[in-house]
Amino acid sequence: MNQQTFIKQLFIQNSKAFSTFPDKELAEEFIDQLFDFLFLPKSVKHKQPSDLEKEFESLKSHFSSLVYDVLFDGQKAQEATEEFFNEIPALFSALIKDAEAILHFDPAARSIEEVLVAYPGFYATAIYRLSHQLHKQNVKILPRLFTEYAHSKTGIDIHPGAIIGNSFFIDHGTGIVIGETTVIGNNVKIYQGVTLGALNVAKELAKTKRHPTIEDNVIIYSGATILGGDTIIGKDSVIGGNVWLTYSVPSFSVVYHKSEIAVKDKIPMENVLNFVI
């Protein structure tokens, strides 16, 4: 392919993308503005509630233009915007419960304000809950832009299609992956490096449930991998670090990975693994 042909092909592809997707930078700017509006007070305090209301309306206008770039219909964009912002109070209440769970269970957390400002797990959960609302409204593209932006900032990858209950606690969080059809109950705690993923699934089965169900009050420690749409972790179970699960476990289970320890001087050297980094 010569350069002229490539440039023409690229122009067609870019034109298609421009007419199909909202502006990525504007989407990221909006979701950060909304997060800040809800949880991070500005250095100059609002003098009265009407100042907050003006900012709320400004966010609506910003969001409506993003939705229009997806729906290409002014009336539908306005309806989607009103529905989304009508759910903001309920989403805010749910997120405060998430923050309270972090404060309650993490001994390093000193205040709810610290959680709101400094905890990447809370930020990722907040962007997920806002994105999930859009996913339920069947607004395309934007939910993924929002959650992938949170992923890039925190290392926590939560698909907006996942269903997550109340008082969700992510500790540390780096490397967590939660797939599209995952269902998580209430009061679940997840540590860094956990994967809630799918087994090998053919593309034509993409709309089936591919990811596990985690029932209420489950704790999943770092590095655990739980796979498969038929896999159910029963309530009040504890899944230890580095466990690999592709099958269900009943309620009140304790599943752990047992490490084997061998003293080097007691075994033949050829059996010792030799790593070079």
For the segment 137-175, what is each residue's pLDDT rounded down to a tens digit?
999 999 999 999 999 999 999 999 999 999 999 999 999
Q: Say yes or no: 64 and 85 in one domain.
A: yes
Give the tens place of pLDDT for each residue, 110-127.
Answer: 999 999 999 999 999 999
Q: Say yes or no: 179 and 239 in one domain.
A: yes
Q: Say yes or no: 87 and 206 in one domain.
A: no
* Residue 266 in domain: no
CA triple 194-195-198, angle to 5 deg: 165
Strand partners, 232: 213
* Residue 3 in domain: no
* Residue 185 in domain: yes
pLDDT of residue 275: 43
Q: What is the CATH number of the domain that holds 196?
A: 2.160.10.10
CA triple 56-61-67, angle to 5 deg: 120
Q: How far apart are CA 226 and CA 239, in angstroms?
A: 9
Helix 120-136, helix 24-39: angle, nearest 10 = 110
Residues in the chain: 277
3-state secondary structure of 92: helix
Give the tens place of pLDDT for each residue, 50-104.
Answer: 888 899 999 999 999 999 988 889 999 999 999 999 999 999 999 999 999 999 9
**Higher-confidence residue: 43 or 83?**
83
Whose structure tokens read 């900032």?
153
Q: Say yes or no: 245 and 181 in one domain.
A: yes
**Higher-confidence residue: 209 or 275?**
209
Q: What's the pTM?
A: 0.87
For range 179-204, the mean pLDDT = 92
For residue 271, name the pLDDT band (cuts at 50, 70, 90).
Answer: low
Percent of the chain with pLDDT over 90: 73
**Higher-confidence residue: 271 or 108?**
108
pLDDT of residue 18: 56
3-state secondary structure of 163: strand
- Write the burial class of residue 269 (CB in 10 Å: 0-12 exposed, 13-18 middle, 19+ buried): exposed
Q: Cα separations (Å) of 180 from 19, 35, 89, 143, 195?
A: 26, 23, 25, 12, 12
pLDDT of residue 276: 42
Q: Say yes or no: 55 and 144 in one domain.
A: yes
Domain of 187 in residue numbering reads as 162-259
Q: Say yes or no: 48 and 126 in one domain.
A: yes
* Residue 233 in domain: yes
Range list of H helices, the chain: 3-20, 24-39, 49-71, 74-86, 88-105, 112-118, 120-136, 142-154
Q: How far apart are CA 52 and CA 244, in angstroms?
A: 48
Least confident segment among 43-47, 183-187, 208-212, 272-276: 272-276
Q: Say yes or no: 84 and 207 in one domain.
A: no
For range 30-58, the mean pLDDT = 84
How high is the mean pLDDT of the chain? 90
Q: Say yes or no: 170 and 237 in one domain.
A: yes
pLDDT of residue 49: 81
pLDDT of residue 47: 62
Percent of the chain with pLDDT over 70: 89
Q: Say yes or no: 46 and 110 in one domain.
A: yes
* Residue 271 in domain: no
Q: What is the CATH number of the domain that holds 71?
A: 1.10.3130.10
pLDDT of residue 107: 93
pLDDT of residue 41: 73
Cα 68 to its chain centre, rounded Å, is 24
Q: Say yes or no: 106 and 144 in one domain.
A: yes
Q: Say yes or no: 140 and 30 in one domain.
A: yes
pLDDT at residue 226 above 70?
yes
| CB 95 within 8 Å of CB 126 | yes
pLDDT of residue 268: 59
Phi and psi at residue 145, in whole multiples of 5°?
Answer: -60, -40
Q: Say yes or no: 196 and 149 in one domain.
A: no
How many domains is the chain built from? 2
